[in-house]
Amino acid sequence: MNRSAINALIQQGYAREISKQQIFEQLCSASIPPATAAHAISHMVNPVIYRRYRGYVWWVRGLGVLQAMVAVLAGFWIGRGMGDGVTTVLIMLAMGIVPAALAYGFFRNHILPYNAMLVFLAMEAANLIMHFESAARQISLLLLLILLCFMLLLYVRWRLFPEIRWFVPKRVHGHYQFVD
């Protein structure tokens, strides 16, 4: 059974409002390895949970789109100072591709963009802390903004994907645990 067939079975289970544990048992009885079934279930957003946290998800999507637009504009200004139109376009694309891919992932409800954005925000906060003494007020405001974005992303990620620790589904005493 391929990945799309497994996802279709999970979506059918969500549509019939079957618990995730029962969906997991159905997939395992269909000769799908437990690790594959747990991975597929935990990486797919439950529509009921999504509807409950839809407003927060739209804030995260807006944050991703805003970040992509800022990166493209920064690439435009940097590229314009470096040379002709082709250079400007290439630098705009190079700077905007990662934030645009993250925003696309937020719109598709994948977990990888949430993890990647959390790592990027943590690295940026660490970089700002290292240069704290040079412009304390501006850096303090940027750190506050990064911390608020980090908390929002972490909150939404924990709510949409409660079965995942950081990268893999939760296991307790060798058994996968699902939250309904």
- Please list the pLDDT of the chain residue by residue as tens digits (180 residues): 788 888 889 999 989 988 888 999 999 998 889 888 888 888 888 888 899 999 999 999 999 999 899 889 988 888 888 878 888 888 888 888 988 998 998 998 888 888 888 888 888 888 777 766 666 677 777 788 888 888 999 899 988 888 887 777 887 888 887 877
CB atoms within 10 A of CB 169: 21
- Token readout for 123 is 């690295």
How much is the pTM?
0.79
pLDDT of 58 = 94
CB atoms within 10 A of CB 123: 10
List residues bridging with 176 in a β-sheet. Answer: 171
> Would you say 78 and 94 are in contact if contact means Cβ atoms under 8 Å apart?
no
Cα–chain-centroid distance for residue 71?
A: 18
pLDDT of 121 = 84
Residue tagged 């058994």 (tokens): 175
